[in-house]
Each structure stands twice: as structure tokens, then as C-alpha cells.
Amino acid sequence: MIRNKSILLVFRLVVGGVFIWAGLLKILDPLEFAQNIANYRVFSRDLSLLAAIVLPWLEILCGVLVIFGIFRSASSLLLSSLLAAFLVLITVTIFRGLDVDCGCFGSLGRHVDYSLLLADIVLLYLTLSIFVSSLSRRSATS
Amino acid sequence: MRIKELIFHVGIILCLSFVIGISANLSLIKQYRKGDFSQSFLSPEDFPSIQFIGIFEAEDLFVGGNAVFLDSRAEEKYLEGHILGAVNIPFEGGERIVEEQLPFPRETTLIVYCDGNECQSSVLLAKVLAEFRFEDIRVFFGGWAEWVAAGLPLSERNDT
């Protein structure tokens, strides 16, 4: 586990920045994001729209909180859960052979492929490092 | 105690996201409940030139002979078989083809289709065509699968 504060700060800036950027791009066109979610053919249309409306704000909120270190455990846990869910969705999509736009960065989207899977794993490692370090920091202070 | 606190914080963040997201998109939710996005998440206000049609209207337009069918699937699939007379504009690179090679007046009725009602390239191509100011774009949602199932005229040569 990484304990170096400077490295963890870089992790927080990278993770926070990526999620704020991703959330902002999705907010610009919620309908396109809803269509991207629907294209995975996993969620109903109602759920696709609800996710397209809520998810970008969740990403932005968590991104800001992670950067500023507020509710650090909760925000990094939420981001880790999101990334784990994306990981499952990407893997299932690749195995189903669907050629879909991931919807990760709004209209700057990219296709679901192995490089996306790798990027997701790297981000998941960063968020989990932030989460674990925030837990150990709590236990050290309590 | 710490787990309770963590769950409480997660709950706060989730609730805030729901409240902000829903408040920021109230008009969109109203449109959705009205049935505006029953076939695709495409705003009628942003894309007034795009309509969605079924097999009967597609067939009528085919028989009428005034509409142009655009096949948004990849070239290999197009060459395996397509709607008789359809022009292939694979969505990948479609923007360039529309800009450089589509020789139709802007008021031509264009019917875009792909594999079937679960593919997305027809809608994406329709959006590109709308951006190039084509005025009458119809997305044939049933696409190639429905056309074949209905036994309508096909072609296996390159019509482009």
C-alpha cells in the first residue's frame, strides 16, 4: 500500500481531474450519454436516463471531494465502486462482441476495447490506494 | 461506528448527486415522460429534421422511388447484401463521405438504416446528416434485419 503523501496527492489530483472532466463532458449532453448507456443493452431506457442524469454529478462531486480531501473515504469508495462496475460492464461488452461507444467522456467517447479496460484498472488502483490510505489515516488519528 | 460514518457520508454524496442531477434535468424528464424519446434519446428540438419510421413507411418510400436509402453499416456487410439501390456510408468515416461525396440536394428524403433496431450507427449517421443541413432524414429502425424478414427487394452488388 502506498503511504507517501506526495504520491497520494498526485493520485488524488489525477483521479479527481479525470472524473470532473468526464462528468462535465457528460453534463453537456445527457441525451447522448443516455443513448450510450442504452447501447450497452443491459439497462432499461428508464434506468439509462436516470443514470445519465445522476452519474455525471456523482462523478463531479466525488472528483471535487477527492481533490480537496473532504469525505475522502466515502468519495474514493464511491469512485472505486463505479470503476469496478465499469470494469464488469466493459468486460461483458467485449465478450459479447458489441461495438459500442463507451460514453466515458461524452462526445469525446471511445470504443469499448482492451485499452479502455486497462485504463479502468489503472484508475481503480489509484482510487483504491486513496481509499485504503484514508482508512489507515483514520485509524491512526482515532 | 466508523462504518456507520462511512455509509452516512456515501449516502450524503449519493443524495446530493440525485437532487442536483434531477433538478438540473427536470425539463428532460418531463419530455421523457411525455414520450419524446420513445425510440431514441434524440431531442426533437435539437434535431427537427430527423424522424423515425417503421417498415411500412420505409416500404412506401422505397416504392415511391423518390427517397434515397443510406446503409450505415461497414462496407463488408453492405457488400454481403443491402436494400436495393442503397448507398453505403459506413458510420466510421461517414462525416467525410457526407461532406465530399453525397451528391443529393439538401431537401432529398434520406432513409438511414443499419443492422436492426439494436444498432446505433443509423442514428449517429442521421445526426451527421442533420449537421450537414439535410432537411428530411428518416431513421428506419427495423433496418436490414426487418427488411430481409419482410422479403423486400435486395441487392448483393455495389450500388454506390
Q: What are the tens digits of pLDDT across the range B67-89?
A: 999 999 988 889 999 999 999 98
Mean pLDDT, all residues of chain B: 86
Where does B25-93 have alpha helices with state H? Answer: 26-34, 55-64, 75-80
Residue B78 and residue B90: Cα distance in Å, rounded? 9
- Preferred mutation among B1, B12, B25 to probe A, highest tally of A CBs within 10 A: B25
> In the prediction, which pLDDT does B158 show?
62
Please name the member of B2, B9, B28 whose beta carbon is closest to the beta carbon of A30.
B28
**pLDDT averaged over consecutive 10-residue blocks of chain A (142 residues)?**
86 96 91 84 89 96 96 96 94 81 70 85 95 80 60
- Percent of chain B predicted with pLDDT > 70: 90
Higher-pLDDT residue of B38, B46? B46
User: Which structural domain range is residue B65 located in?
Assistant: 50-155
CATH number at residue B82: 3.40.250.10
> In the prediction, which pLDDT does B120 show?
76
* Residue B43 lies inside a defined structural domain of this protein: no
Contact list in A for residue B16 (CB cut-off 8 A) is 57, 61
Pair B14, B70 in one domain: no
Pair B18, B54 in one domain: no
Pair B127, B68 in one domain: yes
The yes/no answer to whether this complex scores an ipTM above 0.85 is yes
Number of domains in chain B: 2
Pair B68, B129 in one domain: yes
Where does the pLDDT of residue B136 fall: very low under 50, low under 70, confident under 90, or very high at 90 and above? very high
β-pair partners for B138: B51, B111
Phi, psi at B138, each rounded to 5°: -120, 130
Residue B121 and residue A47: Cα distance in Å, rounded? 22
Closest chain A residue to B123, measured at CA: A35
Higher-pLDDT residue of B54, B98? B54
Cα A30 off chain centre by: 17
User: What angle, 0 to 180 degrees and rounded to 10, lies between the N-to-C axes of helices A45-68 and A5-28?
Assistant: 150
Higher-pLDDT residue of A25, B117? A25
User: Who contacts B148 (Cβ-Cβ below 8 Å, separation ≥6)?
Assistant: B81, B154
* Residue B82 lies inside a defined structural domain of this protein: yes
Matching residue, cell 428532460: B28
The answer, for A98 touching chain B at a CB cutoff of 8 Å, is no
Q: Do B24 and A34 touch (CB under 8 A)?
A: no
The two most distant CA atoms of chain B are separated, in Å, by 73
